[in-house]
Amino acid sequence: MRHFAMVAAGATLWGCWSLFLRPAGLSWSQNAFLALIAMSLPVPWLLRGAPWRDKRATGALLVVALADAGNISLFFAAMKRGPVSVAVLTHYLAPLLLALVAPWVLAERRSLRALVAAPVTLMGLMMLIGRPDGSGGAQMTAALGAGSALFFAAIVLGTKAATRSYSPLAVASLHAPVSAVVLLFIAGTDALPTALDGATLQVLAGGAVCGLTGTCLFNAGLRHVPTAAAGALTYLEPLTASVVGWAVFSESLTPMGVVGGLLVLSAGVWVASERRAPASTAPLPSAAP
């Protein structure tokens, strides 16, 4: 259960982003760029010892870098266009995609509980967030959110493959400079902060806490947790974000939302408690020559 707790802790930290981003008041592209810079800070200490010769793991790390840039760009674009509830719900199609795809891509044993829990937790999340606010652009928002879900699923699958050779910290940090460069191609110079002021430092702190620390915890647990189960536990991110919004920013949380949140938690615990066959003690295959 320790590794499930690490995945859950990482997803919970991701749900705390608003504590750093909302007070800063920067644009989505500036927030994303600064977060990636914060996650890049350990890179100088990781470059020399990185297992670059493992072509399979290094290729997976590149997939994570490209997918993270796409995930950030599409998700924050969906959030900006609105309705926010549509953006969040379509983004969290990712755990359902992981439950369906992981057995084919990673040859993992299929988890019946994860398959059942994915749509159940999506329903709980829908109850938690509430109905769309009725503003325009719902179809485009849904398309952007669903696109970000595809990229997020690719991040989890790539991370699972990369952590066969790279440490959780290396996977979390080494991909970030590449993602930042790709983000600059997408958003242009608008992603660059205008000054090193309090708002910039606050977002950098968020990148260190929610981005780097949260991702390291998630990656460390993911090495020992089935991908489908980890995908189900990522629903703790929007659950945490909703609780933070209610407790800190006075956002409404209806009785139905509370029931939805409990449903999300219960489904995650149910998936995490599923009995599984002991992992093989045979060494993992390596693509290194």
Q: What is the pLDDT of residue 283?
A: 41
Question: Is the torsion defined by CA of 26, 32, 35, 37 positive or negative?
Answer: negative
- For residues 99-116, give the mean pLDDT: 79
Note if the pTM is more than 0.85: no
Rounded Cα gap, residues 79 and 88, in angstroms: 8
Residue bearing the bigger pLDDT, 45 or 265: 45
Q: Mean pLDDT, the chain, as a whole number? A: 84
Task: Render the burial of 142-163: b for 16+ CB within 10 Å, e for the rest.
Answer: bebbbbbbbbbbbbbbbbbbbb
Confidence band, pLDDT 50/70/90 cuts, at residue 133: low
Confidence band, pLDDT 50/70/90 cuts, at residue 85: low
pLDDT for residue 123 is more than 90: no
- For residues 109-118, give the mean pLDDT: 79
Confidence band, pLDDT 50/70/90 cuts, at residue 21: confident
**What pLDDT digit, counting tens, does each position of 162-175 carry?**
998 999 999 999 99
Name the strand (E) or helix (H) holding 233: helix 227-233
The region of weakest confidence among 53-67, 76-90, 129-143, 185-199 is 129-143
pLDDT for residue 140 is more than 70: yes
Q: What is the pLDDT of residue 221?
A: 94
Rounded Cα gap, residues 179 and 166, in angstroms: 18
Q: Which residues contact 42 (CB under 8 A, 6 or more apart)?
A: 169, 173, 212
CB distance 159 to 171 below 8 Å:
yes
Confidence band, pLDDT 50/70/90 cuts, at residue 61: very high
